[in-house]
A and B are shown apart, each in its own frame.
Chain A
Amino acid sequence: MSSFTSQIFIERLIQKNFNFFTGVPCSLLSGLISCLEEVEDAHYIPSVREDAAVGLCAGAYLSGSQPVLLMQNSGLGYCLNAFTSLNLIYRIPVLVIMSWRGQGGKDAPEHLIMGDISQKLLETAGMNYSVLKPENCDQVVEIALRKINEEKLPYTLLVEKGLFDERY
């Protein structure tokens, strides 16, 4: 069993000055969201739709905060216009923690197509990403921070099933 827990990852993000958290839940991210609700230094705002969460994060960034957006890859479609006509053209960064349902074609039917095309969609939209692993966490968080702080662009960390403690 990996010692890479939701709490360790959240603490790492807080240590790196991420201080504004919102999103739409996924079971793969349930441990992370529970953790955010429990940690005193963090405040998680429930969003009703992923694109509204993109807008919320943009407002937070414009106000000097460092936002994190948690979502399932099924919400990527809702967000593409927001990413391309807001974040990418204004250079408004956000760290996206995106669960990868449907990876490898093994999941419920509604996740299979998006699971297959999530990486291609991100690439086509010019949205850089990494697949988060216990062993590359420090490295990909640093890559994300460079993208966010230097290029002022969004960065996505894809979360595979089983990476974090899932509470439901």
Chain B
Amino acid sequence: MRGIEVFQEIIPLLKDEPVVHANGFICRESFALQDREENFYMIGSMGLASSIGLGVAICKPDRKVIVLDGDGNVLMAMGTLAMIGAEAPNNLVHVVIDNEVYESTGKQRSISNAVALEQVAKSSGYREALRVDKKEEIKPAFERLMNSEGPGFLLIKVEACFDPKTGRVTHTPEEIKERFMNTLLPH
């Protein structure tokens, strides 16, 4: 499965949920496929998508909050999995697209081939942690987590085949922030 197929499966399932994107190809592919005002594109601060998402989930308990993360980001901030498990926001769904490399920087190996991140999440206290390897498994697994009590964790194993010609996010960081915040204002 290619990483882009994960976005093709998940984006049509989204309504107005805030989605915090990890830096690198996750921001770029999602943005290229379908930009959303509810998307927070974290272009720097590697490792922090999960803690940003946790902060949103705690402060917006009535909104389902999604983090689209990568294996490199999760490995860098594995302690944040413990914080999510301990705080246990029932409205957080943490999706990790795992290509086992740092793809945006030239496919250097990460170590997620040797570390079962879904088991780390489960041990950290996520209510449910699933792993899928096939494209057709994504939709049912994602919908299951979206419709059940969280925090939920979904590890999606993909090949490393990011197209480096994919553009970068063209909004300025301040624009990304302003419109994301507007979508979180009380209605």
Residues of chain B contacted by A59 (CB below 8 angstroms):
20, 51-59
Tell whether A1 is near chain B: CB-to-CB under 8 Å: no
In the complex, which residue of chain B has the Cβ closest to the Cβ of A88? B173
Interface of A with B (CB < 8 Å)?
20, 45-49, 51-65, 67, 81-82, 84-86, 89-92
Bound CA–CA A55/B77 (angstroms): 11
Min CB gap A59→B, angstroms: 2
Q: Which label, helix, strand, loop or mixed, suits the secondary structure of the B interface?
A: helix
Q: How far is the CA of A63 from the CA of B53 in the complex (A)?
A: 10
Q: Which of A52, A82, A85, A92 contacts B83 (CB 8 A)?
A: A52
User: What are some 24 contacts across the A-B interface (CB < 8 A)?
Assistant: A51-B48, A51-B51, A52-B48, A52-B80, A54-B51, A55-B45, A55-B49, A55-B52, A56-B51, A58-B51, A59-B52, A59-B55, A59-B59, A60-B59, A62-B56, A63-B55, A64-B59, A65-B55, A67-B55, A81-B44, A89-B44, A90-B176, A91-B174, A91-B177
User: Which parts of B43-98 form the interface with A (CB within 8 Å)?
Assistant: 43-60, 77, 79-80, 82-83, 86-87
Report how many residues on chain B are interfacial, defined by Cβ distance under 8 Å.
Answer: 37
Verify A64–B51 contact, CB threshold 8 A. Answer: no
- Decide yes or no whether B180 CB sits under 8 A from chain A: yes
Pick the most buried of A53, A56, A61, A89: most chain B CB atoms within 10 A of its CB.
Answer: A56
Q: Quick check: B48 and A55 within 8 Å, CB to CB?
A: yes
B interface residue numbers (CB < 8 A to A): 20, 40, 42-60, 77, 79-80, 82-83, 86-87, 173-174, 176-177, 180-181, 184-186
Q: How far is the CA of A46 from the CA of B58 in the complex (A)?
A: 13
Q: Enumerate chain B residues within 8 angstroms of A67, measured Cβ to Cβ.
A: 55
**Which residue of the partner chain, among A65, A82, A89, contacts B59 with CB atoms under 8 Å?**
A65
Could you tell me if A62 and B80 are in contact, using CB atoms closer than 8 angstroms? no
A91 and B48 alpha carbons, distance in the complex (Å)? 16
The answer for the CA separation of A47 and B77 in the assembled complex, in Å, is 12
How far apart sit A59 and B42, CA to CA, in the bound complex (Å)? 11
